[in-house]
Amino acid sequence: MKQRSLYIAFLVIVLAIAIISIIGILTARRTTPPLQGTMEASEVRVSGKLAGRVSEIYVRKGDWVSRGDTLIAIHSPEAEALHSQAVALEKAALAQSNKVDEGARIEVIASAKQLWQGAKAQRNLAENTYRRVLRLWQDSVVSLQRKEEAEALYLSAKASESAAYEQYLLARKGAQKQDKESARYMADAAASGVNEVEAALHDAHLTSPAEGIVSEIYPTDGELVGVGTPLLSIVELNEPYAVFNVREDMMPHFWLGRIIYGDVPAIATENIEWEVFYIAPLGDYATWRTSHLAEGYDMRTFEIHARPVKHIERLYPGMSVLVTMDNIER
């Protein structure tokens, strides 16, 4: 009787172990491994627009910077020399423009007037002489040759007086319209050159284009840098997002605007709401290959981005995000 009881108890224990094992196997088969993603953030590289020597670095790696904060100062003697040259050219062009706008100087006008009055006097004298000679010729006192000589002198003096008068009027009028416009264009071009160099000098103090953490500083104090050389990098942590590589057979469970739930073990935070905002239009090469063609097909993966619905503190690039697929597939 005692042996029979022991036998029955043994059978019960074996049966219980078998039932628990079967339940465990079935549960394990139904449980899908979590979808693992990685936190990422936008990175901004700050490059110099001016060639020169790094004179001062105002930040350190790991510093939090805001938009507009001064990061690095660059000293460029070449740019400063170009600025001085551009300012000098602007002053010269402006002076020339003012001179043209003001017209001829008083001395030039007075000289032209004096020449005209002299030519006018010569014309009057030649005219009076010609009239006298003309009367004498009519009275047959002088020859025809003498009369023609007097007439030629009169016509020449008249032409000279007319030309001198035109020069006098031109001096009073000043420069022509085309000359004034040309002078103004030259002054405007010189001013633009000054503005361009001043803009370059303004870029000698590089400011932050974004808000975030300084992740890298490439040059050191006193180092020579060229135009377009990356000087430092800033990681924008205000809008982090998670990147997932999803098999194509799981794509029906994802669409733009879909809310999924995921855990971030690094900050011990669970059930964070994530909104899908990007799905890659093209799949990557097949990363899930079937071992037997009869059992399936090679599957590609699609990159999906999701951002936290609410702001989560201490989310940094590189942290893992785990999404339970059982909740998504329901």
pLDDT in tens, 185-205: 566 665 665 566 666 666 777
Q: How confident is the model at residue 257 (pLDDT cuts 50, 70, 90)?
A: very high
Tell me, yes or no, whether 38 lies in a domain. Answer: no
7 and 56, same domain (yes or no): no
**Helical (H) or strand (E) element with 75:** strand 70-75
Question: With contact defined as beta carbons under 8 Å apart, do 208 and 46 qualify?
Answer: yes
86 and 191, same domain (yes or no): yes
Tell me, yes or no, whether 161 lies in a domain. Answer: yes
Question: With contact defined as beta carbons under 8 Å apart, do 267 and 39 qualify?
Answer: no
Report the pLDDT averaged over residues 162-170: 76
pTM: 0.53
58 and 120, same domain (yes or no): no
Closest CA relative to residue 223, chosen from 54, 99, 71: 54
Q: Which residue has the higher pLDDT, 50 or 103?
A: 50
Give φ, ψ of 34 to 5 degrees: -65, 150
Q: Write the CA distances from 204 to 44, 210, 298, integer angstroms.
A: 19, 18, 55
Domains contained in the chain, number? 4
Tell me, yes or no, whether 214 lies in a domain. Answer: yes
Tell me, yes or no, whether 123 lies in a domain. Answer: yes
**To 10 degrees, what angle do helices 106-138 and 144-173 make?**
160
190 and 114, same domain (yes or no): yes
86 and 194, same domain (yes or no): yes
Task: Look up the domain containing 92 and give its range.
Answer: 82-198
Tell me, yes or no, whether 319 lies in a domain. Answer: yes
* pLDDT tens-place string over residues 48-85: 777 788 888 999 998 999 998 988 888 766 655 555 56
Q: Can you give the CATH number for the domain in which 219 is found?
A: 2.40.50.100
* pLDDT tens-place string over residues 268-323: 888 899 999 999 988 876 566 555 555 567 788 899 999 999 988 888 899 999 99
53 and 158, same domain (yes or no): no
- Burial environment of residue 319 by CB neighbours within 10 A (0 to 12, 13 to 18, 19 or more): middle
Question: With contact defined as beta carbons under 8 Å apart, do 240 and 267 qualify?
Answer: no
Tell me, yes or no, whether 39 lies in a domain. Answer: no
Contacting residues for 148 by C-beta, under 8 A, at least 6 apart: none
1 and 89, same domain (yes or no): no
Which of residues 148, 174, 198 is at a domain's end? 198
**Helical (H) or strand (E) element with 57:** strand 52-57
According to the model, what pLDDT value does residue 29 have?
Answer: 46
